[in-house]
Structure 1
Amino acid sequence: MSTIGTTTSTWKVRPGTVGLWILQVFLAFQFVSAGLMKLAGNEVMIGMFTEIGAGQWLRYVVGALEVAGALGLLVPRLCGLAALGLTGVMAGAVVTNVFVLGYSPAIALGFLLVAGLIAWFRRTAIRELVAKVAS
């Protein structure tokens, strides 16, 4: 008679980790939606980037950064760096909304804060990824 040994591992699900992933999925959905609107040439986006005055190339760059950042938020190894990048994109959006467009920066500021919060809590992963790339 033979017995097959099995090992069991216990996963501890931490509420903070689950909450962070929920935020990341929410933010990814928001950014992929906004990025695809920019890349698809939505009339509102074309008008907004025309008003900015930098040219439509900026719409494509911002859209690509938003989609790439959204996808990065869903990859465990890249999520911290993606959040940090999206923080930079949203900092640019806040400045543009206030000083160029004269719009309320509330939504962009909200997304900036959420992305910054994710980047802060994923800072160890960011350090590890940067150290791995640097070595």
Structure 2
Amino acid sequence: MQQPLKLRIVTYILALIFFASGMAKLFALPFEIAAFERWGYSMTFMYLVGVIEVAGALGLLVSRFSAIVSLALAAFMMGAIATHLIHQEWPMLAFATAVALGAAWRGWVSLKTKRGRS
């Protein structure tokens, strides 16, 4: 069964965000390096976060896994939210929170829809 349009749109937006963010880390773009250094995180951790984000973006596009991947990414975003909160980066805190809420909503709606069909 095909997902409702609103759910597909949110899925594609989340996938784009996580893919772009992850690739920026994997390509070690200067602004990502500067941010991870400012936060006191290692470059190994930056690459690990990048791999998780890219894998999550791809997982969102696989309908069989998209609900659980959405919820996992929402939980994963708690690290970003905490980092931005600790460092008082308010615009990035707002963005990370919006992404986490979008991922949580997407996962919850998808699981709710699947349970309704069972």
**TM-score of Structure 1 vs Structure 2, range by shorter chain:** 0.7 to 0.9
How many matched pairs?
A: 113
Length-normalised TM-score, structure 2: 0.88
RMSD: 2.0
CA displacement at 1:123 relative to structure 2: 2.1
Q: Would you say 1:109 and 2:65 are equivalent positions?
A: no
How far did 1:126 drift? 8.6
Matched, 1:56 2:43: yes
Q: CA deviation at 1:110?
A: 0.5
Fraction of identical pairs, as percent = 33
Of residues 69, 72, 91, the one that matches 1:82 is 69
**Higher Rg:** 1
Letter in 2 for 1:45: E
Tell me the distance in 2 between the aligned counterparts of 1:125 and 1:88: 21
Gaps of 5+ in 2: none
Q: Mind listing any 5+ residue stretches in structure 1 that lack a counterpart?
A: 1-10, 128-135
CA distance in 1, matches of 2:18, 2:38: 21
Conserved? CA contact 1:62–1:89, under 8 Å: no
Q: For the Cα contact (< 8 Å) 1:73–1:83, is it kept in 2?
A: yes
> Which residue pairs with 1:8 in the alignment?
none
- Indicate the structure whose relative CO is greater, using CA pairs within 8 Å and at least 6 residues apart: 2
Counterparts of 1:121 and 1:34, CA distance in 2? 24
Bigger share in helix: 2
Q: TM-score scaled by structure 1? A: 0.77
CA contact (8 A) 1:81 1:119 kept: yes
Runs of 4+ displaced beyond 3 Å: 124-127
1:31 aligns with 2:10: no
Q: Give 1:46's aligned residue.
A: 33
Moved more, 67-76 or 116-125: 116-125
